[in-house]
Structure 1
Amino acid sequence: MTAHENKIVGEGLTYDDVLLVPAFSEVLPREVSIQTKFTRNITINVPIISAAMDTVTESKMAIAMAQEGGIGVLHKNMSIEAQA
């Protein structure tokens, strides 16, 4: 198997494919961790990543995402000065 073939996912789901039905649970919110790996070395506390689009993520959004435990990816049209 080549490296490229190893990266292809066989099946994927979208929001229309999944339905969460509200129900009683014995699990308390403080007992749950929603941490996830962004990379091998970066763990984020909230599994939310903002899009690298000029209408979505600039420095303010990336900072706000980081403060809440997520991550914001700056778009490529942003100047180096504006990124800093």
Structure 2
Amino acid sequence: MNVAEAAHRLGKTVVADGGIRYSGDIVKALAAGGDVVMIGSLFAGTEESPGEAVIYKGRSFKSYRGMGSLGAMKGGCSKDRYFQEGTTEDKLVPEGIEGMVPHKGPISGVIYQMVGGIRAGMGYVGAPTLERLHEDSHFVQVTAASMKESHPHDVVITKEAPNYRAE
């Protein structure tokens, strides 16, 4: 958060990148001083995302390839991003994975849920604007047990919610 304050004093934009899994993570990244948040992996699995749709164990999935994956680097679309241009394929060092993610349907539904979650998070802080979110947010450290307790537990989820997936 000190970095964000220093960057803003210099007129720089702070880009939060990595670890975003839920809309609450977006709110935290913005509250910590981020001006924008990179959320590419949250769009994985939408109809509009690249990747082949497959059925696995009776459920619909889409293939996923992170930009730092070996496949993306070999495909020529990200070697330079990871400072590995000119590196032969057998010497590439991947920083991402390839796999599959649950099919999520149209991106519009994912965005709708994210925006709703961001609004809720800003409401918890009492912040009607991003500027107020930056100014009015306070962070507290929680234990792993507290984090576990804050998520659904001691129940088998029988109907998936569009904005939450048990992991």
Is the pair's TM-score, using the shorter chain for normalization, greater than 0.5?
no
- Report which of the two has the higher share of helix: 2
Structure 1 length normalisation: TM-score?
Answer: 0.34
Structure number with bigger Rg: 2
